[in-house]
Amino acid sequence: MLGVVAERFAQNYQGADAMKWAQQLPPAYGERLTRKVFENWANSSPQTAADFLQSGAVPEPLRTAAVSAFAHQSFTVAPDAATKWASEALASSLAPEGERMAIVRAARVALPPAEASRVSELLR
């Protein structure tokens, strides 16, 4: 039941409001809400979502879920823009290893092998 509520909430709220609510939930539901928010946001306003991620406004326990969901959805709907975003994110020495792996994993799932390999090469 809480999962359904989280999914509905994610359709209607983005950004800081959703993150405040996600932090109040038990971890599994908070991650689920975060994933749904960033999947929806990647479709409706990808640059705003990317900027929000880059701003550091997503709290640490939910950040990897947000990066993973945003990356997967972005690679699926806008692979060129997602690859550009990923190259910038992976070039940042500040990106934790978990986030870097989430981006590469999302590329491997959503992109053809040759394109996914290019994203993977950015880790080296």
Instruction: State which amino acid sits at residue 122.
Output: L
Give the total number of structural domains in the chain.
1
For 8-38, what is each residue's pLDDT tens digit? 766 777 677 778 888 888 888 889 888 988 9
Q: How much of the chain is helix, strand and coil, in % rounded to 5?
A: 80, 0, 20
Residue with tokens 């326990």: 61
Range of the domain at 114: 2-121
Q: What is the pTM of this model?
A: 0.85
pLDDT in tens, 77-105: 999 999 888 888 877 756 688 888 899 89
Helix (H), strand (E) at residue 10: helix 2-12
Check: CB of residue 52 under 8 Å from CB of residue 58: yes
